[in-house]
């Protein structure tokens, strides 16, 4: 599309709508405040350009995407609850700078659908419940801050994290549980990550805790679905230090990471398993 001003919404009024596409813009959509309850058959927020959310409270139920941009989706603030969707947030690029985001998707949570695209997490609080890939990028993923907690897929045809090029993490906390067949983890960055494989699926509500040699809790998470792998990445995790994984307070394994990414199973340090890195999802069929 050519130039021009974006379609901008800045309001404190309550808005409730039901249509194929709830908010549809031919250029770009900017929302800076307000309270929105959206129920739509197709995308809840849709723009042929970019979608920017600078504030507001959103409760979304949709048969397609919660937020979709043909360009970039950028979220700097606000509270976004996507109760159900096909893909929760989709765009050529996705950037999260702040806000509180909770999403449930029957397919992917985040979906960057372009090979040159980037999923960037610089801040904010994110929770993902996805039956497909939790974080899916046909390009790269970069995380510099914020928190991401994920209950990913239970089927091995998808993974909690799926990227084609690289996942660099230099800040923030990431915990992603799900199936193991396609599991991936960050592979570069400035603090350590682990990908723990279990020999069989673990029951939902089974708590995983990572402790250092002094018994200090480095990370803990209780997945809401069954899982066979879990990724833990936090600045507290250091190479050259011994850690122990517990499940429901029972010791599973101890290990000492020596690389940026350490792969662990119930016997100790292992090699990367699964396929990983498959082509991520593109844009699905859209209603008009």
Other Cβ atoms within 10 Å of 17 Cβ, number: 13
Give per-residue pLDDT as tens, 108-158: 999 999 999 999 999 999 999 999 999 999 999 999 999 999 999 999 999
Confidence of residue 191 (pLDDT cuts 50, 70, 90): confident
Whole-model pTM above 0.85?
yes
Other Cβ atoms within 10 Å of 272 Cβ, number: 13
Give per-residue pLDDT as tens, 36-48: 999 999 999 999 9
CA atoms within 13 A on the CB side of 121: 27
Asked whether residue 27 carries a pLDDT value surpassing 80, the answer given is yes
pLDDT of 274 reads 67
Stretch among 76-80, 144-148, 276-280 having the lowest mean pLDDT: 276-280
Confidence of residue 12 (pLDDT cuts 50, 70, 90): very low
Query: How far apart are alpha carbons 153 and 176 in whole angstroms?
Result: 10
- From the number of C-beta atoms within 10 Å of its C-beta (0-12, 13-18, 19+), residue 253 rates as middle
pLDDT of 276 reads 53
* Residue carrying the six token digits 């970039």: 72
Q: Do residues 227 and 202 lie in contact, with contact meaning Cβ atoms separated by under 8 Å?
A: yes
Region 255-278: mean pLDDT is 86
Region 189-210: mean pLDDT is 96
């Amino acid at each position: 599309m050519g130039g021009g001003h974006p379609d901008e919404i800045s309001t404190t009024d309550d808005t409730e709508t039901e249509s194929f596409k709830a908010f549809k813009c031919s250029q770009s959509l900017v929302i800076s405040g307000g309270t929105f309850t959206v129920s739509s058959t197709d995308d809840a927020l849709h723009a042929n350009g970019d979608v920017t959310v600078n504030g507001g409270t959103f409760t979304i139920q949709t048969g397609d995407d919660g937020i979709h941009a043909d360009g970039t989706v950028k979220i700097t603030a606000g509270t976004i609850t996507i109760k159900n969707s096909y893909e929760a947030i989709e765009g050529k690029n996705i950037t999260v700078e702040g806000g509180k985001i909770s999403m449930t998707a029957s397919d992917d949570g985040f979906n960057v659908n372009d090979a040159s695209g980037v999923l960037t997490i610089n801040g904010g609080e994110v929770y993902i419940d996805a039956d497909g890939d939790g974080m899916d990028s046909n390009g790269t993923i970069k995380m510099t801050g914020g928190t991401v907690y994920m209950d990913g897929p239970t089927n091995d045809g998808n993974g909690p994290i799926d990227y084609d090029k690289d996942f660099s993490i230099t800040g923030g906390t990431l915990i992603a549980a799900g199936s193991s067949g396609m599991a991936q983890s960050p592979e570069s960055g400035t603090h350590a990550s682990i990908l723990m494989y279990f020999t069989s699926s673990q029951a939902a509500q089974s708590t995983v805790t990572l402790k250092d040699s002094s018994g200090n809790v480095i990370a803990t998470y209780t997945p809401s679905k069954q899982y066979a792998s879990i990724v833990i990445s936090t600045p507290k995790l250091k190479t050259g230090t011994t850690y122990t994984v517990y499940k429901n307070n029972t010791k599973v394994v101890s290990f000492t990471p020596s690389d940026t990414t350490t792969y662990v199973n119930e016997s100790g340090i292992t090699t990367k398993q699964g396929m990983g890195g498959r082509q991520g999802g593109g844009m699905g069929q859209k209603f008009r």
